[in-house]
Amino acid sequence: MNFLDGHLFPENQQPLIITAAPYAPSWVPADFPEDIPVTMEQQIQKAVDCYNAGATVLHLHVRELDGKGSKRLSKFNELIAGVRARVPEMIIQVGGSISFAPESEGAAAKWLSDDTRHMLAELEPTPDQVTVTINTSQMNVVEHWEDADVKGTSMEDPEVYRAYKEMTVPAQPGWAEEHIRRLSKAGIQSAFQCYNINSFDSVERLMRRGVYKGPLVMNWVAIGGGMDVPNIYSLANFVRAVPDGAVLTVESSMRNVLPVNMMGIAMGLHVRCGIEDNLWNQSRSGKIGTVAQVEQLVQISRQFGRPIATAKQAREISRIGVFYDTAEESLLANGFAPNRNGGQQGFLRKAA
């Protein structure tokens, strides 16, 4: 991305898209009973509340009535239908893991099988986006956490903590290519989860080879543990490679969430918050729910002078439902240099 003079001024930035992640598959309802929805009506209402607070993207997982993360796609269909009926313009982004919560006590935290995750392309109603991971990676979500972050929660159980410490993301090249093709065929936008510059490089190659021909919408995931680290050097290195036409959301964990989001707001990027990422206020004097986190970002963004995107604006910025016919058209629309033609060195133009 190019940051020219005046890039920090709100009149030169897009309205802010806020993604809310309120369903928190790694936590159990007892960890935050005031905020973790369990019944289907509670889960639908949570989406409505996030939307009314200012979030225009809903990162969606589903719970069963016993409080565990659901692995039944029929429950995803039910929640998507309920949210669509109540807030039809909200962008529904289904979490590509489906649920990584352990099946039982002492079991591993793991993503579901390749074939099961492919079935996300068959959800009905069709979601707007499904998150897509690129390159198999460690996903030690607890690496940056402090002891106080888990105090009084289910993560105090050493077995539960270890399960999330040892988690990996399965995203082999063949699976990713097939998954993207299925999602695109269903009219679902791939929302790429980029864990570092390496995964972004792989996304770019997929686009240059015509595997994905759509808007480049992605998250920079700075949670450590095999993924990027939440500091300005890592963010700057990542953003430097991203083309101007991309829609980039910053994402972090625990008390890194707010400062990383503030950097994103200032830079003209987009943000994500919610109890899936963080339970605590910055002083850790208490827990902070997803709606309150959204409201906090709305207030901060307005202090910067940057308006909050309406649902219509968020859809236009993200180009929901847009796909391109060729790799070249996709590269041009997203601000990449074109593919090399024959023996050309690249996109460089040399004086005759």
Residue range 132-160, pLDDT digits in tens: 999 999 999 999 999 999 999 999 999 99
pLDDT at residue 72 above 70? yes
Domain interval for residue 130: 13-334
Q: Considering the domain boundaries, does residue 50 fall inside one?
A: yes
Q: Considering the domain boundaries, does residue 291 fall inside one?
A: yes
Q: Considering the domain boundaries, does residue 339 fall inside one?
A: no
pTM: 0.94
- Interatomic CA distance for residues 9 and 215, integer angstroms: 25
Cis peptide before 125 (omega within 30 of 0): yes
Q: Considering the domain boundaries, does residue 7 fall inside one?
A: no
CATH number at residue 273: 3.20.20.70
* Per-residue pLDDT, 114: 81
Q: Considering the domain boundaries, does residue 4 fall inside one?
A: no
pLDDT at residue 96 above 60? yes
* 107 band by pLDDT with thresholds 50, 70 and 90: low
* Per-residue pLDDT, 34: 96
Q: Considering the domain boundaries, does residue 117 fall inside one?
A: yes
CA 71 distance to own-chain centroid = 19
Q: Considering the domain boundaries, does residue 346 fall inside one?
A: no
- Interatomic CA distance for residues 264 and 125, integer angstroms: 32
pLDDT at residue 344 above 90? no
Between the alpha carbon of residue 188 and those of residues 110, 129, 131, 322, the distances in Å are: 24, 5, 10, 9
Among 270, 341, 212, 338, which residue's Cα sits nearest to residue 54?
Answer: 270
Reported as a single tens digit per residue, the pLDDT across 155-182 is 999 999 999 999 998 999 999 999 999 9
Q: Considering the domain boundaries, does residue 259 fall inside one?
A: yes
Count how many domains the chain has: 1
